[in-house]
Structure 1
């Protein structure tokens, strides 16, 4: 059967497809987030292989607030089979177990955005290794269960089976001409996104995000009404759009920057051009704020003027003009990171899971700065955020 590859198919899935769970909304939203996460892989002639593992990581973040064992928010039908009431989400038990383990570990209160925080924390080996083997195993089991569930909306999206997306295959089975996202392994099971559909997600990202969430809210409200649960679309909207604050203190990054400063390395704030050379007299700034897009990767974390960061930039994205001026200063900060063995390894490792085709020679810092600015610009445009 012919596979649809136009933007019309996205709207059809969200508004007109038959749905018994919120899986289809979650699938579209996750693909949209993946496209936004990798702005440098688009190609007019080649399809992109998206690992189901990456989609599952976003699903974990989306469904996290609905998986409270004490006050669950039901996300679909709960059919009675063989005298047993089935879960609305096949992965609910393992996600609830992961959430229980996580809430036993954290020292602060649980919040709806913790799933997005875990998405950021478990994305890179350096951060993932900081958690216990038990929590890592619970996360692994949840991702595996989510991957299994994702096959369903991929299969039934559109007018029939596999009419919008092809049946998922392992990357090595897809042959030449397919673009693999950074970090994709040959054995990863992937869904193929055509170049036309990828471009539709890229150019319509804001609309797709809004429609996915809107339809998700309406569906959840209908389910709640049918069950007599006191949940409305506003409640669901809040849960779906919650984003983490900077829960992690960034002590590891700050300590290593301070060591560089004590050794004589000077940083320059990319926004004010203030020279930063005194330990403690700086902030570690998220270039792309967590409130807009949760990225705790080292390339997104740079020393900045404390006063400016706290009182002017805050959770906003600089204008295109400011970013253009800041780009060489961002590159200089990355070059400073290269002077520390720990920071060098971390920034290259973190950049490697986000950006493709980065050089490994002396041009690394300059090229990474270009990728960073382009990524921030794309997120700003896709999310239509306030800039300064």
Structure 2
């Protein structure tokens, strides 16, 4: 039950909702319960007032090209539907279950994703790794206690794309005795905007669209300049200006960039509002993967060579013959390999905590950028799975939220800068430790993050079993597959190399060839959802080992897989898939595909 924010568009039409107070002590829980009880009636009232009548003062600022829109306090879904009809992908945040259900029933659209979340925290939204070209906050702000507004504004800014816009509408006039509200002014929004680096583009006033003479509205349109978060200057400082006695700091940044790009599903909200937390074991795993080929090639990582690297001990050496592809979430190790893996990750975690995480600090300060905490000793045993529980058992690693979001958005551009500086440092060290430098290409090859090869074997074997029993269907067309079939990467392998079980789907050959390397549209995914869920269940949920691998991989790669009321379910995996589709479309501008 929401406790902090009532339905976002509740004041666009009349409603008879009792409030428990008129100040910051009002009981929003009671108000939301009242909205739930009268959601159909209230939704009808909101829908009678057209979008253009309510928002005509900012109509010329609305984006003409399609993009990603966040509607906070989406109410009946009227505004979300208006954006969706014009080609935008919309995330509709609404804390009232009654309003969500009414809105979803009225405005069925594959371009609208409803999310049960609330200001000021927006905890679930932030876990989806989404960012938006437009954040839409209509008739919400006056329902937030003043003490929560700074936090709420900061969260809204954190999901804005560079160059993105935010619209906040504010109710003016005497407070209603039937609704809890706190006065809100455009001056307050302008102060918050200045503190967070946003530009005020326009402030407008208008009469109430429902005809209440005592009520008027202000609308404030804001814009975030490119990289208004300050994240990129800080990253540049760490890469190029920060003092370094080894390549450790660069290795840590590289590990975080890789996690943000390919394993962001493990990120959790931090204790405060300004950071996310990762499993320290996951950071250590990616650290080992980065260093393994460099140590094999004997490329120096500090001025005196590699003899005294703090993490290159028995465990790390014991993994030198293992493929980098073995060092990934979902893999299982036994006997001596398990002992080596635990030792290697434990040693890497200790090194990260003592060295780069301790010495990467904010400019002019001793405050660490990446505080981390080690848990108690992890027992060496003869069997281990690289899963969520194991990776968290090593400890936690905090990343400032603005850095995390910049890493997720710009990994493809940031990683080459990190690697170029890494190569420069290694070539400098070579002058002191070897007779001559290796070629630049040799360094690049050693630093290459080996992508998995196109591998569909497990999915194909499961599909063959279902085909033999007569229960194999193309997820895209619904056609029964009796002879020839192909295994399709749902999210295209060429754009996002991922052989995770959830991403491998049986397909008719013609549909797969027609789809090629295009990204399935939200409409295509929604249409395929029943068949996709059935495939996941039939192929992977009946075998306990495959079930565990499926869950580990989905939790690692997909955002929002644990956000449902029932925790991790196949439905929540599908929701995570939809959010990842949104991320790939935003970041890589992929062409979308719809079955003919």
TM-score clears 0.5: yes
Q: Find the counterpart in structure 2 of residue 228 from structure 1.
A: 435
What SS is found at the alignment partner of 1:284?
Answer: strand
Q: Which runs of 4+ in 1 moved over 6 A?
A: 360-363
Tell me, in whole angstroms, the C-alpha distance in 2 between the residues paired with 1:379 and 1:118: 26
Name which of 308, 319, 323 aligns with 1:87.
308
1:97 equivalenced with 2:305 (yes/no) = no
Corresponding residue for residue 118 of structure 1: 326
Query: 2:416 and 2:327 mapped to 1: Cα distance?
Result: 21
Matches within 5 A, 1:223-302: 223-226=429-432, 227-246=434-453, 250=457, 252-270=458-476, 273=477, 275=479, 277-278=481-482, 281-288=484-491, 293=496, 295-302=498-505
- Contact in 2 for aligned 1:265/1:336 (Cα 8 Å): no
Q: Is the contact made by 2:264 and 2:556 (CA closer than 8 Å) also made in structure 1?
A: no
1:89 and 1:331 map into 2 onto residues whose CA distance is 51
Question: Could you tell me whether the CA contact under 8 Å between 1:268 and 1:274 is conserved in 2?
Answer: yes
Q: Taking structure 2 as the reference length, what is the TM-score of the superposition?
A: 0.50
User: How far apart are 1:194 and its partner, in Å?
Assistant: 2.7
Q: CA deviation at 1:75?
A: 1.7
Root mean square deviation, CA, Å:
3.7
1:325 to partner: Cα distance: 1.9
The CA distance in 1 between the partners of 2:241 and 2:343, in whole Å, is 33
Residue 60 in structure 1 maps to residue 288 in structure 2: yes
Contact 1:331–1:366 at 8 Å: present in 2 too? no
Greater fraction helix: 1
Secondary structure at 2:277 match in 1:
strand
Match of 1:231, SS state, is coil
| Pairs within 5 Å for 1:17-56 | 17-36=242-261, 37-38=263-264, 45-56=273-284
Distance 2:298 2:459 in 1: 37
SS at match of 1:190: strand
Question: Is the contact between residue 6 and residue 200 of structure 1 (CA under 8 Å) also seen in structure 2?
Answer: no
Task: Measure the CA separation in 1 of the matches of 2:494 and 2:292.
Answer: 17
SS of the counterpart of 1:224? helix
Q: CA 1:6 to 1:288, structure 2 compared with 1: closer, same or farther past 3 Å? A: same
**CA separation in 1, counterparts of 2:569 and 2:424?**
46
Inter-partner Cα distance in structure 1 for 2:567 and 2:395:
35
Match status 1:140 vs 2:342: yes
Segment of structure 1 superposing worse, 203-212 or 56-65: 203-212
Question: What does the per-residue CA deviation read over 1:223-279, in whole Å, with 9 as the maximum and x for residues that have no partner?
Answer: 2344334423322223323423437662x4322222222223232254xx3735236
Select the residue among 339, 352, 357 that pairs with 1:150: 352
> Kindly tell me: are residues 218 and 327 of structure 1, through their superposed partners in 2, closer, same or farther at Cα, counting changes over 3 Å?
farther
Task: State the Cα distance separating 1:49 from its structure 2 match.
Answer: 1.6
1:333 paired residue among 510, 515, 532 = 532
Q: What is the Cα deviation at residue 54 of structure 1?
A: 0.6
CA shift for structure 1 position 97:
2.6
For 1:23 and 1:215, the matched residues in 2 are separated by 12
Q: Provide structure 1 residue ranges, at least 5 long, that are not aligned to the other structure.
A: 80-84, 103-113, 172-180
Counterpart check, 1:370 vs 2:575:
yes
Within 2, Cα distance between the matches of 1:203 and 1:365?
27
Decide whether aligned partners of structure 1 residues 258 and 381 sit closer, same or farther in structure 2, where only a CA change above 3 A counts. same
Contact kept in structure 2, 1:331 and 1:365, CA below 8 Å:
no
Using the TM superposition, give the Cα deviation of residue 154 of structure 1 relative to its aligned residue in structure 2, in angstroms: 0.4
CA separation of 1:52 and 1:211: change in aligned 2, threshold 3 A = same
Q: CA deviation at 1:50?
A: 1.4
Q: CA deviation at 1:139?
A: 2.0
Q: Secondary structure at the match of 2:327?
A: helix
Match of 1:218 among 395, 407, 424: 424
Aligned pair in 2 of structure 1 residues 119, 40: CA closer, same or farther (>3 Å)? closer
Query: What count of residue pairs does the alignment treat as equivalent?
Result: 340
Higher relative contact order (CA 8 A, sep 6+): 1
Cα separation, 2, equivalents of 1:274 and 1:52: 43
State the Cα distance separating 1:299 from its structure 2 match.
0.9
Do structure 1's residue 77 and structure 2's residue 77 form an aligned pair? Answer: no
1:214 deviates by: 2.0
Tell me, in whole angstroms, the C-alpha distance in 2 between the residues paired with 1:78 and 1:45.
Answer: 41
Residue 206 of structure 1 corresponds to: 412
**8 Å CA contact retained: 1:182, 1:354:** no
Partners in 2 of 1:62 and 1:259 — Cα distance?
A: 38
Q: Which runs of 5+ in 2 are unaligned?
A: 1-228, 377-386
**Per residue, is there more strand in 1 or in 2?**
2
Q: Is the 2:481–2:508 Cα contact (8 Å) retained in structure 1?
A: no
TM-score (norm: length of structure 1): 0.73
Question: What pairs up with 1:178-193 in 2 under 5 angstroms?
Answer: 183=389, 187-193=393-399
